[in-house]
Amino acid sequence: MKAFEYANPTTEKDAVTALRVDGRIALPLAGGMDLIARMKDYVTSPDRIVNVKNALDTTIAALPGGGLKIGAGVKIVDLVENAQVAKLYPAVVAAAGEVGTPQIRNAGTVGGNINQRPRCWYFRQEEFNCYKKGGNRCFSPAGENQYHAIFGNEGPSHIVHPSSLAVPFVAYSATFRVVGPNGERTVAASDFFTMPTLQNVRKENVLADDEILTHVMLPAPGNVRTGHYEVRYKESHDWPLALTMNGNTIQSARVVLGAVAPIPWRSADAEQALVGKPLNEATAIAAGEAAVRAAKPLSRNVYKVQITKTAVKRAIMQIAGLKPVQLRA
Ligand SMILES: Cc1cc2nc3c(=O)[nH]c(=O)nc-3n(C[C@H](O)[C@H](O)[C@H](O)COP(=O)(O)OP(=O)(O)OC[C@H]3O[C@@H](n4cnc5c(N)ncnc54)[C@H](O)[C@@H]3O)c2cc1C
Ligand code: SF4
């Protein structure tokens, strides 16, 4: 591992200051489940790491008027075990409970999970200098693209967004508090994650290099009913998808898919297929069909289209109480 400077700030302001290194690379370190692994594999070689664990809020607090404010320093395990989160935002707890392994949930934080880098195996190997590492090509279109995107495949990168928590946060219309050298700002979760372009392909979100994510604000859920349906490629761990709806007869719907696109993917087609319809199996089937209408799979991931269709259908049926959640792909 390359030698690096280490900063240990205790306030958000000092953390941001420590991230300013004039042309060199400084990165925040939270639980280290992603960053340390990338450093060990020579995928990321920062000049300075800034431990943000002592600078970030580690609490979950009620917001005036309803809703919850979750500190970016909250560990994933504490999110899973929080009674208020479970009561108000069950899809968050369902997604958090499936993150990685118990060890990863014990060390990993909300902020680190949202900001983790892609799992693409070319990205994770030192030898492949793809767009995301400053190279001039993507290896996935002609390569092993089984786990890559089926939506938003215009390129130049074809990753799927890796954060399980990002999906329900987008579905619940969360906002993120961000702190940087010019103070703080809030960004809607749905605007935080960015599609790859040649100009920004080395990033997955709107954070500047000297900004940190400090909080996730979840609005009061009202009469929202949620479903969350996860499909696993392997027995141990993989990435989920989530669905949020309003009402019994469907008044409005948010269908957000994980693991299918470079960002948590909102399916407008599925949402349109749901609104104004009764919550039953026929509606669930129609929404599943609609969800994959715009899919553009790569050479080796056509199977994901069927999985997505089935997962959307089953998430809706789960909300309707029509079938037990059981699927192993
Ligand atoms: C075997 C395995 C299975 C996994 N399965 C899943 C899964 O099913 N679902 C899932 O979502 N994840 C999964 N992960 C990823 C894991 O959840 C993340 O690595 C972990 O949540 C990251 O949290 P952390 O606090 O350890 O982040 P760190 O490793 O400390 O940081 C991750 C990245 O975010 C940046 N960062 C950290 N905190 C902040 C902040 N507050 N503001 C701005 N940037 C920040 C860091 O610079 C770094 O680049 C898996 C990982 C492994 C190894
Ligand atoms: S999909 Fe993205 S991360 Fe993977 S090889 Fe292509 S450019 Fe790199």
Predicted confidence (pLDDT) per residue in 250-281, tens digit: 888 889 999 999 999 999 999 999 999 998 99
Nearest protein Cα to ligand 2, atom 3: 123
| Percent of the chain's residues with pLDDT above 90 | 78
Helix 303-320 to helix 281-291 angle, to the nearest 10 degrees? 150
Instruction: Give the residue, 270 or 318, on which the prediction is more confident.
Output: 270
- Average pLDDT on 184-203 reads 98
The best mutation among 14, 116, 159, 167 to test binding of ligand 1, ranked by most ligand atoms within 8 Å of the C-beta, falls on 116
Q: What is the pLDDT of residues 152-191, one digit of tens each?
A: 999 999 999 999 999 999 999 999 999 999 999 999 999 9
pLDDT of residue 219: 95
- Quick check: CB of 120 below 6 Å from ligand 2? yes
Q: For 254-277, what is the HEC assignment?
A: EEEECCCCCCCEECHHHHHHHCCC
- Average pLDDT on 126-143 reads 98
Q: Quick check: 235 pLDDT over 90? A: no
- Residue-averaged pLDDT of the chain: 91
Q: How far apart, in whole angstroms, are the C-alpha atoms of residue 294 and residue 150?
A: 9
Q: Quick check: 55 pLDDT over 60? A: yes
- Quick check: CB of 100 below 6 Å from ligand 1? yes
**Residue 196 zone, left/alpha/beta (φ > 0; ψ -120 to 50; rest):** beta
pLDDT of residue 227: 67
265-269 LR contacts (CB < 8 Å, sep 24+): 265/151, 265/152, 265/161, 266/170, 266/190, 267/291, 267/312, 269/293, 269/294
Assign 303 to helix, strand or coil.
Answer: helix
Instruction: Give the residue, 230 or 155, on which the prediction is more confident.
Output: 155
- Quick check: CB of 35 below 6 Å from ligand 1? yes
CA 93 to ligand 1 center in whole angstroms: 17
- Quick check: CB of 157 below 6 Å from ligand 2? yes
- Average pLDDT on 304-315 reads 90
Distances 27 to 39, 135, 282, 302 between C-alpha atoms, Å: 11, 20, 49, 36
Q: Quick check: 193 pLDDT over 50? A: yes
Of all ligands present, the nearest one to the C-alpha of 75 is 1
- Quick check: CB of 205 below 6 Å from ligand 1? no
Residues 6+ apart with CB under 8 A from 127: none
pLDDT of residue 247: 58
- Quick check: CB of 86 below 6 Å from ligand 1? no
- Quick check: CB of 212 below 6 Å from ligand 1? yes
pTM (2 d.p.):
0.95
Distances 213 to 101, 148, 178, 219, 280 between C-alpha atoms, Å: 24, 26, 5, 18, 39
Of all ligands present, the nearest one to the C-alpha of 97 is 1
- Average pLDDT on 218-231 reads 77
- Average pLDDT on 56-81 reads 98
